[in-house]
Amino acid sequence: MEMNNFDVIIVGSGLLGLSTAYHAQKAGGRVIVVDRGPVAYEASSRATGYLSLRADDPDEAPLATLAEKHWNTLDEELGYPTEWTPKGRLWVAFSDKQVDELREIHKAFQRADDSFELIDADACRKLIPILSKEARAGVYTPRSGHANPQRVSQAYAWAFQDLGGVILENTPVYSVIVESGKVKGVRTNSGEIYADRVVLCAAGYNAKLLEPFGVNFPVASVRLEALVTTPLPHMYDVGFIGLNGLSIRQTKRGNLHANGGPHEWVDVDADREPAKPNTPIVRNLVRRIIEAFPVAAGTQLLRTWAGVLDITRDQKSILHRFENPEGLLAAAGGGHGFGMAPAVGIAMAELTLQGRTDAPIQRLSLDRFGTLSREWKTEKKWNAGEYNT
């Protein structure tokens, strides 16, 4: 393969990388995406699949709104099904304590958006007929929804390839090559690839690629567990977020798809796929599913898995273009990168090709972390091996 014909190299074929690649290629750039492993094999295909609007957050809400707009036409845009289900989301409390938390959530959400409604248990059960009698109250928004993360990622990958984009799998990137303050390309396990713009979308590994430039990139990686049951007849469409610590969506096929619970902070390497073991905690997840939806007791546990995902220090997206070295950019998700991806891709592609964007990302650059301690992971107890916190 001729490795000198690219305008843009994107490191990481996760959803953020693929979305950026798609939009940059569509705008006329010649783009190559390079990944350590297979396409979208980490967080992007293991996510819950919710579009979390971050309606509570004035910094991120405008970009989330842009993402939501694109979700509604994504199947048409890309040409492949994503299972987008724009049927809103529902937070449900099952105890007095959780009702108090629910009120706090409602208050927080209302600061940026007024489409969140506090509803009673009967109203919750209208949205999810199989909800337990223990349900006490809910917060509902008709906005947003969920999709199938595996289909979404692959839809972006295929749409990018349909435009002539190139994806290089199983190719670890070790460093960014810079000469005289300008990006020249990347060094991989099978040689160098050249382009004068490099976009880092490699989740937790971004931090390591940026270390040589003295950049403190505040993203950490964490392992979270998930499971799926055998299919039930179609029961509900809304995205369920239980205050018992569990999110459950019913897939188009009918399976209950759930995740949540304890999470463990981990480190990621250049060339090694992170281990994603499950723990016996999946039994406690099962118990909570049955508590939320008693009918689930009659299904079977089909599969469990774990995902390693990236979270920024303040749980908001990072979209950044460096002045020095020139031609270097980086993006990361705040723990809900899945839903933000369409908008992040649009903004990053414009930043990459034009050096500017009209997308509302003014407060999402790295500049907000100017005074962040180098020891932030330790202070936050987010070092590898630590649990929850």
Partner 1 sequence: MGGKRIVIVGASRLGCELALAARAEDNEVTLIDEHPQQLKSMSFDAPYFYGSGLPASLSDETAVFDNVLSSNELLLECVENEVDVKIGVVAWGAFHNTDNSQHIGTPKVGIVSREGNELLEYDHLVLATGSRDFVPSFKGWELPGVFGGKAGTKLIEAYQCFNGSRCLVLGTTPLAVEFARAAKERGIEIAGFVEPTSEFQSSEADLAWLQLASLPVFYESVILEARGTDKVTSATLIATNGSWALTNLDCDAVCVAIGTLPNIELPAAMGCEMYFDGTVPAWLPKTNANLQTSVGGVFWLSQFGGQTDQVNRILSATDNAASGTGGESTLSSNARESAQYIGLWVSKLNELGGSDVVLCQCETVTRGEFLNLQPPKYLQAGMRHAHDPLTGGDTEPKINQDLVKRMTRVGMGHCQGKRCRDEAALMLAQRFGVPLESIRPASYRFPVRPIDMSLIAAEDDDYHTREKWPHWMHEEVVPESVAGSVEK
Residues 273-312 touching partner 1, rule: CB under 8 A, are 274-280, 282-284, 286-290, 296-305, 308, 311
- 38 lines the binding site for partner 1 (CB under 8 A): yes
**At which residue do the structure tokens 């300008």 appear?**
182
Minimum CB separation from partner 1 for residue 177, in Å?
A: 19
What three-state secondary structure class fits 379?
helix
Which residue, among 139, 162, 137, has the nearest Cα to 53 in the 3D structure?
139
Q: What backbone phi and psi angles, to 5 degrees, belong to 342?
A: -60, -40
Minimum CB separation from partner 1 for residue 156, in Å?
A: 13
Q: Which is nearer to partner 1, 24 or 167 (CB)?
A: 167
Roughly what angle, to the nearest 10 degrees, separates helices 337-354 and 61-71? Answer: 100
**At which residue do the structure tokens 């399976």 appear?**
255
Minimum CB separation from partner 1 for residue 61, in Å?
A: 10
Q: Which is nearer to partner 1, 150 or 326 (CB)?
A: 150
Residue from 224, 331, 341, 349 binding partner 1 (CB under 8 A): 224
Residues 327-346 that bind partner 1 (CB under 8 A): 335
Q: How far apart are alpha carbons 56 and 31 in whole angstroms?
A: 35
Q: Which is nearer to partner 1, 194 or 305 (CB)?
A: 305
What DSSP state is assigned to residue 231? Answer: P
Residues 250-269 that bind partner 1 (CB under 8 A): 252-253, 260-264, 266
Q: Which is nearer to partner 1, 154 or 327 (CB)?
A: 154
- 323 lines the binding site for partner 1 (CB under 8 A): no
- 144 lines the binding site for partner 1 (CB under 8 A): no
Residues 82-111 that bind partner 1 (CB under 8 A): 83, 101, 104-105, 108, 111
**At which residue do the structure tokens 């007929």 appear?**
129
- 381 lines the binding site for partner 1 (CB under 8 A): no
Q: Which helix (H) or strand (E) holds 46?
A: helix 43-46
* Contacting residues for 286 by C-beta, under 8 A, at least 6 apart: 227, 301
- 24 lines the binding site for partner 1 (CB under 8 A): no
* Contacting residues for 15 by C-beta, under 8 A, at least 6 apart: 40, 44, 149, 152, 153, 156, 337, 338, 341
Q: Which is nearer to partner 1, 315 or 378 (CB)?
A: 315
Q: DSSP states of 238-277 as a string?
A: SEEEETTTEEEEE-TTS-EEEE-S--EEE---SSSPPP--
Q: Which two tokens stand for residue 381?
A: 């107890």
- 244 lines the binding site for partner 1 (CB under 8 A): yes
Q: Which two tokens stand for residue 388?
A: 């929850």
Residues 147-176 that bind partner 1 (CB under 8 A): 150-151, 154, 158-159, 161-162, 166-171
Q: Which is nearer to partner 1, 55 or 353 (CB)?
A: 55
- 187 lines the binding site for partner 1 (CB under 8 A): no
Q: Which is nearer to partner 1, 263 or 350 (CB)?
A: 263
Q: How far apart are alpha carbons 380 and 389 in whole angstroms?
A: 8
Minimum CB separation from partner 1 for residue 137, in Å?
A: 15
Minimum CB separation from partner 1 for residue 126, in Å?
A: 25
Q: In Å, what is the CA distance from 179 to each residue of 107, 184, 370, 376?
A: 51, 6, 25, 30
- 129 lines the binding site for partner 1 (CB under 8 A): no
**Residues that contact partner 1, how many (by CB under 8 A):** 93
Q: Which is nearer to partner 1, 178 or 220 (CB)?
A: 220
Minimum CB separation from partner 1 for residue 75, in Å?
A: 7
